[in-house]
Copies of this chain bind each other. A is one copy, B any other.
């Protein structure tokens, strides 16, 4: 049975997911609805799809009160933390299962609790992709025995400038000429100072020991050309270290292509019954 997918957010990642479904990389599903508050995004994506969606909406209320809403089997949020927080609860309450790309939305404990309630008591299913990192399996496995989790993100001057961290301090990232650790603190603090890194910090926190106990370091390296994430974990019966260098998506220099592929794989495993590899 073909599953009808609605995509919330038709920016770079929403575009790639829709195209991937359109190219039949994920069996037995189709893009049924596109939603984005910007009409141009909708039109641009629709024009690139071979199999046209049944409907497009730029107002959320129009979408959920439409006739087509009841046909939707699964919703992909690929918009923003604000959109995830604004729309997810309503969609889950209406009986839709979801993949939420903006994992940073779970840094709000009230939102987190409401979503968990809809899963545990409402029977809904919610999937969070690993995004620009990996190792959610091992973090989840050892989470009860962890002594320390340190996430180190190394960014170029260009990819970090404009962060609230610099604005608050009246500093300029362009004045960093040597590799420098500019921040060390909890994931909770880090996501306020560096919101562009929020999804990675959130995923490590959610899979492991939470936003308060996960340590985050932010390093600026004027010579680096990729985005680099390192996860170092000490736990009771061992330790592990994960280092990931990501090059950008060919269609969007601001997104690691791994984040796109991870979303597609997450969606595939949510929709297709296949051998489930990795705890």
Which residues does A use to contact B, with CB under 8 Å?
A: 115-116, 119-120, 123, 125-130, 133-142, 144-145, 203, 206-207, 226, 236-250, 256-258, 261-266, 269-270, 273-279
Contact = CB atoms under 8 A, between A and B. Distances in A.
A257 B277 contact: no
A242 B245 contact: no
A112 to B, nearest CB: 9
B140 A137 contact: no
Contacts of A116: 274-275
Contacts of A203: 277-278
Nearest to A127: B276
A238 B256 contact: yes
A279 to B, nearest CB: 3
Contacts of A130: 137-138, 141, 278-279
A141 B258 CA distance: 7
A85 to B, nearest CB: 15
Contact of A246 (B237, B244, B270): B237
A279 B236 CA distance: 26
A247 B238 contact: yes
B128 A262 contact: no
Nearest to A206: B277
Nearest to A270: B276
